[in-house]
């Protein structure tokens, strides 16, 4: 299955979202890294254009940035990539754990490894929403809560198509 097919199915097809649990983990991780790269590029572009006034916060940081000169940009890109990777994978893992709990309530046969894959694909819309809200600086505090509820909603819709647990 191509990445654009995963992307389109993640928006409105909960049955396919549940079926994505059977995808190889490598494909799911590559799909997650597309969003990590997108987040990194947006963050790095904003940093390069001077949107983030990080160095005006303290004179020590200003002096340090002048000392290292042009090396600040590759260091910033790597740092932002690591932070975005950590953020996305922790978020996927936390929502997979929440999905286990919801799956038990719904009396579905759930395993963490399958829910992690479903959660990784289900993060598409909530992560795009988070990026847009951050980019336009709209609903900064409640945007994370709203996108988290949206992620849980996508998981619930997908869990409806998981097999029922055996009695």
Write the CB contacts of 135 (distance below 8 Å, at least 6 apart in sequence).
42
Inter-residue contact 124 to 35 (CB < 8 Å): yes
Q: What pLDDT is recorded for position 54?
A: 57
Give a yes or no: residue 35 inside a domain.
yes
Domain that residue 38 falls in: 13-159
pLDDT in tens, 41-51: 988 888 888 76
Q: What single-letter DSSP state applies at residue 52? A: S
| Domain presence at residue 165 | no
Say if 126 falls within a structural domain. Answer: yes
CA dist., res. 125 & res. 120, Å (int): 11
- Looking at the chain, the whole-number percentage of residues with pLDDT higher than 90 is 44
148 falls within a domain: yes
For 122-167, the pLDDT digits (tens) are 999 999 888 888 877 776 677 788 889 999 999 999 999 999 987 6
User: For residue 59, is it within any domain?
Assistant: yes
Residue 87 lies in a domain: yes
Residue 5, in any domain of the structure: no
- How many domains does the chain contain in total? 1
Helix, strand, coil percentages (3-state) for the chain, rounded to 5, are: 80, 0, 20
Residue 51 inside a domain? The answer is yes
């Amino acid at each position: 299955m191509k990445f654009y097919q995963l992307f389109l199915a993640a928006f409105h097809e909960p049955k396919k979202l549940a079926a994505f649990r059977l995808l190889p983990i490598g494909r799911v991780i590559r799909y997650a890294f597309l969003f990590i790269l997108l987040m990194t590029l947006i963050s790095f572009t904003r940093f390069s254009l001077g949107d983030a006034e990080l160095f005006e916060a303290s004179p020590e940081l200003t002096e340090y940035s002048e000392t290292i000169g042009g090396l600040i940009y590759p260091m910033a890109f790597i740092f932002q990539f690591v932070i975005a990777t950590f953020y996305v994978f922790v978020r996927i893992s936390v929502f997979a754990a929440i999905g286990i709990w919801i799956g038990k309530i719904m009396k579905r046969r759930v395993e963490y490894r399958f829910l992690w894959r479903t959660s990784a694909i289900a993060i598409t819309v909530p992560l795009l929403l988070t990026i847009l809200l951050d980019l336009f600086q709209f609903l900064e505090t409640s945007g994370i809560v709203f996108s988290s509820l949206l992620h849980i909603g996508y998981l619930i819709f997908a869990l409806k198509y998981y097999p029922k647990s055996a009695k």
